[in-house]
């Protein structure tokens, strides 16, 4: 079982990028946001994708990973 099996695509999100950036074209099918480096490390260990891009945040660089 993976983290994607636990995701409910029919649930309403708490917030979306539209709340900040307005309506845009589709960016991704799935977005996982972590608030702790250990969670991110575990996801990277499990799936080990190459970063598609990086975003600068208040907490440092965040990799944007392809699906």
CB 37 within 8 A of CB 43: no
Residue 64 confidence (pLDDT):
73
Residue 66 confidence (pLDDT):
66
For the chain (67 residues), the mean pLDDT of every run of 10, in chain order, is 77 81 75 76 72 74 70
Residue 51 confidence (pLDDT):
66
Residue 67 confidence (pLDDT):
57
CB 32 within 8 A of CB 43: yes
Residue 8 confidence (pLDDT):
80
Residue 38 confidence (pLDDT):
83
CB 66 within 8 A of CB 49: yes
């Amino acid at each position: 079982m993976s983290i994607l099996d636990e995701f409910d695509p029919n649930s309403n999100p708490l917030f979306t990028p539209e709340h900040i950036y307005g309506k845009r074209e589709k960016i991704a099918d799935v977005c996982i946001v972590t608030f702790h480096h250990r969670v991110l490390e575990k996801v990277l260990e499990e799936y080990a994708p190459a970063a598609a891009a990086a975003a600068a945040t208040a907490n440092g660089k965040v990799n944007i990973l392809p699906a």
